[in-house]
Structure 1
Amino acid sequence: MTDVPSPHLEADALLFDLGRVVLDIDFSRTLDHWARHSDCEPVLLGQRFVRDELYHRHEKGEISDQAFFAGLRSSLGIALTDAQFVEGWNAIFVGEMPGIDQLLLRAAKRLPLYAFSNTNAAHVAHFSDRYAKVLGHFREVFVSSTIGLRKPDAAAYDHVVKAIGVPAERIVFFDDLDENIRGARERGLKAVRVTSPDDIETALQALGI
């Protein structure tokens, strides 16, 4: 069930998260890939993997991919090469979310579209090329590793709102995580929690699109 804040929405811009909103992701694919190159079971790697300070610094562009992978060698207890790490890291991307291309195409005829993702340089390099067509619907894609700020920090939303150039309350933001939805609403954006593309469809209808 969608979390549209009102049966009738108004907006001057739409802002979309990427993972599980525009692009389907599955972290088990990453763990499976790393496990194949190490003497470790995927479930054990999953237990050892934590989204800690090193992970957050990587997403804010404060450390390189190489430094992040060096940290993973220690925390995961596996001796993969950088190439093996990045190949598995990018295996997280499954494809486009079902029907999202047509939804974005429809929305872009009425309103400017933007994206905002917590992500890192390796993922950006990968998805920017592989999914260039669907990402082409966005006027700009804001990524945490470039702006040095990540959701749900207030400064991250403020930065993106200022760059878009319309009042926060005139932006509808789509994200799959409760904490990011709460953070957006605290900064004045209208926010819709996405559990499937149907939630985006419902919101577009509420916008008269």
Structure 2
Amino acid sequence: MLPHLLFDFGGVIINIDYDRTLAAMRRLSRAGSSIEFTQAQQAELFDQLETGQITPAQFRDGLRAGYELQASDDELDAAWHAMLLDVPAERLALIGELRRRGHQTALLSNTNVLHIGEINQRLAQQYGFRNGIADVLDRVFYSQEVGLRKPGDDIFHYALREMNWQAADTLFIEDSPQHVATARRLGLRVLHLAPPLTLTTALPEALRVFPAEYSPAASR
């Protein structure tokens, strides 16, 4: 049986640069404060946005109060979106080809309504997508919609249950070590997409050796 493919979004399908948002937010701060948002960890305000507990308006107000930001809604949104880079066409093409070969595919992403709206708009403009990244996948699971986020166990259980997948038959493609650790503990196979690995270079090799886990050393 072909392995099921569970993709992270940021750093896997879309390129991300957290430092761009940190710098943009710092420029808006009276005190030159840095927001508490990185790949490894983040403050509760960001968890609340990513699990749908607060609205974009409440998020913006939280940024202004918590980090002494003097900015309009549009300025805050622009700074928040600064981390979002490009979605390379070759990655979309690879996912499409794997689906045509018979792999079931899904996305499991910690994200928020602001970023999803921005990314979907870009995908519509660049690729003509009507439903964002969902156009190239069988199913999409966004933390803000299911009310759960990685690296918690529950969001993995939720996605596997909804897809009717077994963990051992699923390859999870992810760039964040803390999310990789949870997936491994739950029995998923993992492709840790740490730099300099990219989806298009590493995933074909990972599938070639499945169910063994792929590591950079395996490609040398």
Scaled by the length of structure 2, what TM-score is found? 0.79
Q: Which whole-Å deviations, capped at 9, do the CAs of 1:148-195 have from their partners, x for residues lacking one?
A: 000111111000001111212111110001111111122221111002
Query: Aligned letter for 2:153?
Result: A
Cα distance, 1:130 vs structure 2? 1.5
Return the alpha-carbon distance in structure 1 between the equivalents of residues 152 and 96 of structure 2.
30
Q: Percent identity?
A: 26
1:120 aligns with 2:116: no
**Take 1:100 and 1:18, find their aligned partners in 2: how far apart are those partners?**
11
Deviation at 1:86, TM superposition (A): 1.1
RMSD value, Cα: 2.3
Which letter maps to 1:49?
A: E
1:129 is aligned to: 121
Once the two structures are overlaid, the 10-residue window that deviates more, 113-122 or 68-77, is: 68-77
Which amino acid counterpart does residue 28 of structure 1 have in structure 2? D
User: Whole-Å Cα distance in 2 between the matches of residues 31 and 128 of structure 1?
Assistant: 22
Whole-angstrom CA distance in 2 between matches of 1:36 and 1:77: 11
Q: Describe the SS at the equivalent of 1:125.
A: helix
Equivalent residue pairs, number: 195
Q: Distance in 1 between matches of 2:30 and 2:89?
A: 35
| Corresponding residue for residue 204 of structure 2 | 201
Does structure 1 retain, via aligned residues, the 8 Å contact 2:30–2:70?
Answer: no
Greater relative contact order, per chain length (Cα 8 Å cut-off, separation 6+): 1
Q: Deviations over 1:88-146 (max 9, x none)?
A: 21121110257312321221222121111001110111112312548222111110000
User: Are 1:77 and 2:80 counterparts?
Assistant: no
Deviations 1:6-53 (A, max 9, x none): xxxx6441010000100001123223444555556xxx443x434111
Displacement of 1:207: 4.8
Secondary structure class of the residue paired with 1:109:
helix
CA distance in 1, matches of 2:85, 2:174: 18
| Residues 11, 183 of structure 1: alpha-carbon distance in 2 compared, 3 angstrom cutoff | farther
SS at the partner of 2:20? helix
- Deviation of 1:84 (Å): 1.2
What residue ranges of structure 2 are gaps of 5+ in the alignment?
212-220
In the alignment, structure 1 segments of 5+ residues that lack a partner are 1-9
- Match of residue 191 from structure 1: 190
The answer as to whether partners of 1:107 and 1:204 remain within 8 angstroms in 2 is no
**2: CA distance between counterparts of 1:154 and 1:37?**
36
CA distance in 2, matches of 1:45, 1:25: 21
Q: TM-score, normalised by structure 1?
A: 0.83
1:11, 1:207 within 8 Å by CA — same for their partners in 2? no
Report what 1:150 is aligned to.
149
Which residue of the other structure, out of 30, 46, 49, is the alignment partner of 2:36? 49
